[in-house]
Every structure is written in C-alpha cells, then in structure tokens.
Amino acid sequence: MASINYDAMIVSVRQHGEHGAIVRALTREAGIVAGYVRGGRSRQYRPILMAGNAISLDLRSRTEGQLGSMTAELLISRAPCLNQALSAAALDWLTSLTAATLPEAQPYPMIYDALSATLDAVMVAASARQWAAALTRYELLLLAELGFGLNLTNCVISDQSTDLSYLSPRSGGAVSDQAARGYEKKLFHLPNFLKGMDRDPPMRDVMDGLLITGHFLERDLMDGRMRELGNVRLRLIERLHRAVA
C-alpha cells in the first residue's frame, strides 16, 4: 500500500457516509489531492478539517486512481477568519474558487504559495484594506496559471508599453490612453497595482481590479455553470463594498 505525506491546505470538505469525510487539499508538489478521512465528522477531526487550514496529511491508496485513505494533522488553524463575516467570506471564496477550478494531480506551486500568503493575510490583517489587493492578485494569478492570463504590459491596439490606463473586456489586453479615446466607457479602468506599480493601492483601485478579475473568472473559468460559486464571490464583493463605503 503506497503512502505519501504532504503539507497541504484544505480547499473542500464533503460529508461521506455517517461518520467520514472526503477532503480535497492543495499541495505544492502534487496539486489537488483527495482522500477519505475515517471519522472525519468526529469531535477530534472537526477543528482540523476546515477549509483553509494548513495540514500535514498522509495519503494511502491500494491502486492508482483509487480514492485514498487520508489522515491529517493540523499545522495552522485559520479558524480566526471565522470571527468576522468579511474575512469568513474571503476564506470561503478563496478555497471554493481553488477547489472548483484546479484539476487534480497537477502541481501549481505558484498558486500554492500565493494561496497560503493570501489566507495568512486575511487571518492576521486588521481590515480588508490590508488583504483585498492580495486576493485580487491571487485571482489574476489563477487566471494566468490556467491559461487565461491578461496582457497588462502592452497596448492591444498600438503595442506601446506606456500610458496603459484601460483594459479590453473582450481581449483581456491593456489599452493606452490614446487608443482608448472615445471608447473609455466600454473599457475597464486598469489600476496600477495590477501592473505591479502600486504596493498599497487605494480601495477604489482594488474594487476596479476585482471588477476585472470577476469578469474574466466568470467568462473563462466559471462559464455560467458554477452558479453557487458565483454567489460565494458576490457575497464577498457585497461585504467589501459595505466595509469601504
């Protein structure tokens, strides 16, 4: 019986039978892995098997392709995120998005590192102003890693690399001030922080960034089929708007 140990972040937990749970977790080496945790609904396991938690897992399977048996030890609890509705919504969105869009058994080390850092920021920051930009960058990275990256370095019309203030909702390419004249209302405003030019953006720019990433997530990854996933993001955006109003 093969046995593999990973450090991982739980991205989903689903009840299975009366006492067990099927856990999907993101690892740096192997991407998403899944396993059955016997007694996963027990008092012992409940605080461990929470989406967002960092765990050390041991995965055993008898044959390749068979759902393995998993045991887990807690490394980092992100339960403090549940103390506030906004941080809880962010944790729910980050883990749900990751679970729904990443294929199993394909490593994405940059996504693993970014998700870990973003969840840490959500857990320790005093307000959304300190993590909302990181969450937006995570969405942008996820799009890029899954083959839907945006061109934020050159104008999609003139190919110039300066004065890029807009983004085309069709092509996902940046548009310069000059090329955008007369079409500004049909384009997204492109905030500097998405181009790596502003480490501490104002929240109005973050909300512009979330508008961009939300558009392309819906179009290219969610494709109208993941209604509940879209609702999870909508709840987060609504709470962010109330928090910064």
The pTM for the full model equals: 0.94
Same domain for 193 and 117: yes
* Pair 139, 189 in one domain: yes
190 in Cβ contact with 168 (< 8 Å): no
Do 58 and 43 belong together in one domain? yes
**Which domain-ending residue is among 56, 77, 98?**
77
Are residues 95 and 131 both part of a single domain? yes
Same domain flag for 15 and 99: no
Q: Give the pLDDT score at 219.
A: 93
Give the per-residue pLDDT at 210.
Answer: 98
Task: Report the CATH number at residue 123.
Answer: 1.20.1440.120
What are the 10-residue block averages of pLDDT along the chain, 245 residues in total?
89 89 97 94 91 97 77 96 95 97 96 98 90 97 98 95 96 97 97 89 96 96 81 95 85
SS percent in the chain: helix, strand, coil, step 5? 40, 25, 30
Domain end, chosen from 77, 92, 110, is at 77
- What is the reported pLDDT for 139? 98
Boundary residue ending a domain (50, 77, 104): 77
At 65 the pLDDT is 64
DSSP 103: P
Is there a contact between 78 and 123 (Cβ–Cβ < 8 Å)? yes
User: One-letter amino acid identity for 19?
Assistant: H
First to last CA, the chain: 56
Q: Which of 114, 139, 131, 111 is nearest to 209 (CA)?
A: 139
Continuous H helices in the chain: 85-101, 109-124, 132-145, 177-180, 203-216, 227-244
Quote the number of domains for the chain.
Answer: 2
What is the predicted pLDDT for the residue at 63? 65
Whether residues 165 and 140 fall in one domain = yes
Mark whether 103 and 12 lie in a shared domain.
no
Q: What is the β-pairing status of strands 31-37 and 68-76?
A: parallel
SS3 205: helix
**Rg, Å, the chain Cα set:** 20
pLDDT (0 to 100) of residue 64: 64
Name the β-bridge partners of 5. Answer: 58
